[in-house]
Amino acid sequence: MQTSPVLVARDVRVSFGGVPALDGLDLVAAPGRITALLGPNGAGKTTFIRCCTGLVAPEAGSIDLFGSPPGSATARARVGLMPQSTGAWSGITPGHLLRYLARLYADPQPVAELVSRLGIGPFENTPYRRLSGGQQQAVNLAGALVGRPGLVFLDEPTAGLDVRAKRNTWALVSEVRAAGVAIVLTTHDMHEAATLADEVNIVDRGAVTAKGTVAELTRDVDLEEVFLANTTGDRA
């Protein structure tokens, strides 16, 4: 049975210095489904996520999260974000950061459970800026999930991870999906998209140029070929 979408974005438009970054992007995301956004560098994926989390105000179009606008109290309480990078110079430790974030939510996940599930324990008391890229990714993912979001944005969650860490992240993301969370995932890894995504949206120059399930999109060629056929990549 199809559930109602928790994210509905229509004709979203943003430009920076007169240059369009989002040029009429449409997207929906539903509970218990992984919706992948694939696109070349500079296609507008992160800008779209920033619009959905209230960090960038679109010039036109609409974004509805659980019936509320981005940045509203309702949306903030129910939406999690794993950004591509966070304040990497911070001296805060993962333990402090996660306990601080947990206090922002009414019914957070126990931090100890997340720390254990994501293997953060050995570096829980190390300042964030001293962590490896992969360790920082684990902390960022924990931060996105600590508030038990109904919708979570994962912006390149496995970029730079080794194979084992990547598979661990895939398993966790699949568990989160099975718990009924709507997941919007960006990745440059076509294998990751083919493995995880329920629906793929290919984004080029700020708009969706192809969408469908992996099976629908890859009837004749693999996902990499579909990506290349539907993108130009001249905006990086």
Sites of contact with ligand ATP (CB under 6 A): 16, 21, 39, 41-47, 235
- Sheet with 19-29, side-by-side order of all strands: 19-29, 7-16, 60-65
Distance of CA 232 to the CA centre of its chain: 23
Q: Which residues contact 127 (CB under 8 A, 6 or more apart)?
A: 90, 91, 92, 93
The nearest distance, CB 16 to ligand ATP, in angstroms, is: 3
The nearest distance, CB 156 to ligand ATP, in angstroms, is: 7
Residue number with CB closer to ligand ATP (55 or 77): 55
The nearest distance, CB 121 to ligand ATP, in angstroms, is: 30
Residue number with CB closer to ligand ATP (17 or 122): 17
The nearest distance, CB 173 to ligand ATP, in angstroms, is: 19
Residue number with CB closer to ligand ATP (82 or 97): 82
Residue number with CB closer to ligand ATP (16 or 100): 16
Q: Distance between CA 97 and CA 51 in Å, rounded? A: 24
The runs of H, that is alpha helices, within the chain are 45-52, 73-78, 94-102, 111-117, 133-145, 163-178, 190-196, 214-217, 223-229
Distance of CA 68 to the CA centre of its chain: 19
Residue number with CB closer to ligand ATP (46 or 93): 46
The nearest distance, CB 77 to ligand ATP, in angstroms, is: 25
What's the residue count for the chain? 236
Contact 213, 201 (CB under 8 A): no
